[in-house]
Amino acid sequence: MAILPILCYPDPQLHTVAKPVAGVDERVRQLVADMLDTMYDAHGIGLAATQINVHERVLVIDTSEERNQPQVLINPELVWASPDTVVGDEGCLSVPGIYDGVARSVAVRVRALDANGVSREIEAEGLLAVCIQHEMDHLLGKVFVEYLSPLKRNRIKSKMVKRQREARE
């Protein structure tokens, strides 16, 4: 059980494209366990390995009310996304305290390996679909603020840099 540090925007490491996991072994299972501990400790509903400066295609999600239904997606691939979209306020553990509207597909189907290395497909809609899309963006080196206007993005960047500077003082 380890709580890992989460990178904060605009850290350039957040823009690293994650590499596929070659095989699910004990090291990957430990990474998943540490990511779940980190996500729950930060009160998040999703976490991509990129956010903890591990550039492998691993993400964890738990959108359940009780916070007891973790989902693990290793090497996730988007199989299908609905053409219908919805704009909802998104937040991110790498951009704490910032929420803004992002358009996402209403439903998705994703193929991924679970923590045991078993391939499965997940059909998701609503919050889970949004969360999957958000976390998969991290694996591509994309943070949700990149969907916002340049003006909003620059304001958020300035705010985050100021917070980080104040935290070091």
Residues of the binding site: 92, 134, 138
CA distances from 11 to 74, 144, 152 (A): 24, 14, 17
d(CA 97, CA 160): 10
Q: Which residues does 42 contact at the CB level (< 8 Å), separation at least 6?
A: 6, 93
* Residue 7, φ and ψ in degrees, nearest 5: -65, 145
Distance CA 33, CA 47 (A): 12
Binding-site entries for Fe cation: 92, 134, 138
From the candidates 26, 65, 90, 135, which is the catalytic residue?
135
Residue 77 appears among annotated catalytic residues: no
Residue 53 sits at the vertex; the CA angle it makes with 112 and 147, to the nearest 5 degrees, is 70
Active site residues: 135
